[in-house]
Amino acid sequence: MPNNKRIKDLLLREYVDSLTGSRFSIVSDETDAYFVVDLQGDFIFASPCCKQLFGRSSSELTGMNLYDFLPSGKISIAQETAQSFELPAGMQPNGQAEVSMLMFPIFYHRELIGKFVLLNDITNLNRIETQNNLEQSILSEKLTAAGHLAAGIAHEIRNPITAIKGFLKLMKGNRADADRFYDVVFGEINRIEVIITELLLLAKPSQIKMERLNVRTLLDQTTKLMEPQALLRSVEISRHDGLRNPEIFADENQIKQVLINLMKNAIEAMADGGALRIEAENIDDAVRIRVVDNGPGIPEDVLGRIGEPFFTTKEGGTGLGVLVSKQIIENHLGRFAIQSGKDGTCVEIVLPQI
């Protein structure tokens, strides 16, 4: 047969006529999306259902090329065997559907003249599979985290309980030193109480009481509260106020809890004294607060574990303070970040102004 595109296109149209005009057919124009292209990828015919996938009517597609929707390196129309592949989202003009394609060769007297392509929308199938995989991954992460947390709780509470049991035995046999032992026992009980209180904040946060607050006022109050502790440790607190609009919508007690925790951590990090700088400014539709110290900084291997339950480098610490603070900020739809280097540490919180 002469190698003439016009002749081959006529033959392909004859093929389409036989496909659509026959009383017997394996496809239906009403329910199936399919099309016929020549060896250059030009559409010879497209069923009406193709519009749902390509965003183009049958008549519009007839004047287009398959490679308008699919990168030329994706498939080879010249291949004489059947092909199967998926069109990822974004290939189509509307960028919404994911499509599987079955491409069959069309021969005339054993010569390849075009391709018949059957389409199937697999968007929902892929979304369901992705959602199932995501849910399984989240469940696995939750179970792992729960296991780590349970092990941490057991370890943290067993230590003071062991001490309490030991001192109770000593008290039983040595009543003369009972008063001294009582102090140790109550100290360990208080430690258990602190751990349980912070765990309850994580497991079941208190009801958020949202109200309009002035960030400048909150910082004034928390800074004054922390000044005595700073003075005892030779830490000088300074403020930088770049707020144009100081109002946020938040829970006053919870935000104060976060600010006090961050300032306390910063002060305790500067064992030999230093400077603590509290910054506040507006960014976009939010307020950014930074608590910056010039302490020795947090080692890189430790920084990666900050916020991990029960991980702490402080004597008597629970390792839950940062975790609770981060959760409070995220419950307010805000952001929480820590940066640290040899010149000190900066903890940044961003709260939306809704």
Give 349's pLDDT tier (boundaries 50, 70, 90).
very high
Q: Is the pLDDT of residue 67 over 80?
A: no
- Mean pLDDT over 188-196 rounds to 72
The DSSP result for 77-144, as a single string, is: TT--S-EEEEE-TTSSTT----EEEEEEEEEETTEEEEEEEEEEE-HHHHHHHHHHHHHHHHHHHHHH
Of the candidate ranges 64-68, 125-129, 144-148, 249-253, the one whose mean pLDDT is the lowest: 144-148
pLDDT of residue 109: 77
Question: For residue 176, what are its two tokens?
Answer: 């003369």
Q: Is the pLDDT of residue 226 over 80?
A: yes
pLDDT of residue 328: 87
CATH class of 5-121: alpha beta
- Mean pLDDT over 242-266 rounds to 90
- Mean pLDDT over 188-216 rounds to 72
- Mean pLDDT over 207-227 rounds to 88
In whole angstroms, give the CA distance from residue 15 to residue 109: 13
pTM of the model: 0.48
CATH class of 126-203: mainly alpha
Per cent of the chain over pLDDT 70 is: 71
Q: Is the pLDDT of residue 51 over 50?
A: yes
Give 239's pLDDT tier (boundaries 50, 70, 90).
very high
First to last CA, the chain: 73
Give 89's pLDDT tier (boundaries 50, 70, 90).
very low
Give 175's pLDDT tier (boundaries 50, 70, 90).
low
pLDDT of residue 217: 93
pLDDT, one tens digit per residue, over 104-142 is 888 887 788 888 888 877 766 655 655 666 566 555 555
In whole angstroms, give the CA distance from residue 9 to residue 39: 9
pLDDT of residue 335: 93
Give 32's pLDDT tier (boundaries 50, 70, 90).
confident
For the chain, domain boundaries: 5-121, 126-203, 211-352
Separation of CA 348 from chain center: 19
pLDDT of residue 7: 80
- Mean pLDDT over 305-330 rounds to 73
The DSSP result for 291-353, as a single string, is: EEE-SS---HHHHTTTTSTT--SSTT--S-HHHHHHHHHHHTT-EEEEEEETTEEEEEEEEE-
Give 240's pLDDT tier (boundaries 50, 70, 90).
very high
Q: What is the mean pLDDT of the chain?
A: 77
Question: For residue 68, what are its two tokens?
Answer: 């308008």
Give 237's pLDDT tier (boundaries 50, 70, 90).
very high
> Which among 10-19, 28-37, 225-234 has the top mean pLDDT?
225-234
> Which among 112-116, 261-265, 274-278, 325-329 has the top mean pLDDT?
274-278
pLDDT, one tens digit per residue, over 282-302 is 998 899 999 999 988 888 888
Bridge partner list, 291: 278, 347
Higher pLDDT, 215 or 147: 215
Give 306's pLDDT tier (boundaries 50, 70, 90).
confident
pLDDT of residue 133: 60
pLDDT of residue 159: 65
Per cent of the chain over pLDDT 90 is: 19
The DSSP result for 33-57, as a single string, is: EEEEEETT-BEEEE-GGGHHHHSS-
Q: Is the pLDDT of residue 354 over 80?
A: no
Q: Tell me which CATH code domain 211-352 carries.
A: 3.30.565.10
pLDDT of residue 90: 41
The DSSP result for 6-26, as a single string, is: HHHHHHHHHHHHHHHHSS--S
Separation of CA 35 from chain center: 40
